[in-house]
Amino acid sequence: MNQEPSPEQNWRHKLYVIIYEADTRAGKRFDVILLWLIVLSVVLVMLESVEEINTRYHAVFNLAEWGITVLFTVEYVARIITVRKPLGYIFSFYGLIDLLSTIPKYLSLFLVGTQVLVVFRSLRLLRVFRILKLHQYVGESQKLMNALRASRTKISVFLFAILIICVVLGTIMYLVEDRESGFTSIPKSIYWAIVTLTTVGYGDIAPQTISGQFIASFIMILGYAIIAIPTGIVTSEMTRDREDNEVFDTQSCPNCSADRHPPRAVFCYRCGTRLNP
């Protein structure tokens, strides 16, 4: 019981608290520094892609990216060392993100012209979620996720119906419209139907014939009206979530611990025991 932790264990635990928790001052500072490093590294990725900026500051970007990569490597190793189950961490969602967002620079030593690695570097942004997870926002985003999860099936049905509508209407438009207007193939017409139904409306493909514009009008009004459906689903779910916590009383029965009593309840609805006032 009074077993003293070995100095090494002690050191690892302290590091664990700093890296994985945010309740201590050092832990908070670690998170803030990491947050800025991530943002910095993503800004670097963006600037590098701008032709004029990259040609001028290429050396600076290269150096900065190496610095960030080394720091992320150190962090990755530290996370593996301090955690209780290293394999669990490595193959967890965030563990894989950490790895994928660290290796691109190393790979670029061996591979040439691998632009795809840029995406992995931008994946670093997902790490921001872990940091924020430990702080505020947890409760609110939890509620949002709950409402979305509860309406998952309804929304899938809706999206599925949308897709089928777009395929059928896209096919019809392919037949109705001129090839010159941009409706050169069915997949392209379906793409146009999605652009129109979601009210995005790029205008790179637009119907020119009268019948085409008539069908297009129908799709637009449809899209304008049925946006009410996902909105209705999510709103209904969110209102329910709130009501569940408020419309019902917070007390539970002293006998059978049933909860969700109406606000004015005097007796438990399940076992009939008189509730505490």
Residues numbered 134-173 forming contacts with a second copy, rule: CB under 8 A: 136-137, 140-141, 143-144, 147-148, 153-160, 162, 164, 167-168, 171-172
Question: In the complex with a second copy, which residue's Cβ is closer, 22 or 42?
Answer: 42
Question: In the complex with a second copy, which residue's Cβ is closer, 12 or 260?
Answer: 260
Binding to a second copy by residue 269, rule CB under 8 A? yes
Alpha helices per DSSP H over the chain: 7-20, 25-49, 51-82, 86-90, 93-100, 104-110, 117-122, 127-134, 138-150, 152-176, 186-197, 210-226, 228-246
Q: How many CB atoms lie within 10 A of CB 219?
A: 23
CA atoms of 191 and 182, how far apart (whole Å): 11
3-state secondary structure of 1: coil
Binds a second copy by CB under 8 A, chosen from 10, 24, 92, 235: 235
CA atoms of 127 and 101, how far apart (whole Å): 9
Question: In the complex with a second copy, which residue's Cβ is closer, 64 or 144?
Answer: 144
Report DSSP letters for 125-155, one per residue.
GGHHHHHHHHSTTHHHHHHHHHHHHHTHHHH
CA atoms of 34 and 45, how far apart (whole Å): 17
Least distance (Å) between residue 25 CB and a second copy: 24
Question: In the complex with a second copy, which residue's Cβ is closer, 88 or 263?
Answer: 263
Binding to a second copy by residue 245, rule CB under 8 A? no
Least distance (Å) between residue 173 CB and a second copy: 10
For the chain, the straight-line distance linking the first and the last C-alpha, in angstroms and rounded, comes to 45
Binding to a second copy by residue 93, rule CB under 8 A? no
Least distance (Å) between residue 23 CB and a second copy: 20
Binding to a second copy by residue 221, rule CB under 8 A? yes
Binding to a second copy by residue 58, rule CB under 8 A? no
Contact 70, 11 (CB under 8 A): no
Question: In the complex with a second copy, which residue's Cβ is closer, 17 or 206?
Answer: 206
Residues 27, 30, 32, 34: is their CA dihedral positive or negative? negative
Quote the tokens at residue 23.
Answer: 């309740």
Which one of the spans 16-24, 28-36, 99-107, 218-226 is the region binding a second copy (CB under 8 A)?
A: 218-226
Least distance (Å) between residue 101 CB and a second copy: 12
Quote the tokens at residue 72.
Answer: 């992320």
Binding to a second copy by residue 195, rule CB under 8 A? yes
Question: In the complex with a second copy, which residue's Cβ is closer, 103 or 220?
Answer: 220
Binds a second copy by CB under 8 A, chosen from 9, 10, 92, 217: 217
Which one of the spans 23-31, 79-87, 99-107, 186-194 is the region binding a second copy (CB under 8 A)?
A: 186-194
Quote the tokens at residue 106.
Answer: 């190393």
Binds a second copy by CB under 8 A, chosen from 32, 63, 111, 247: 247
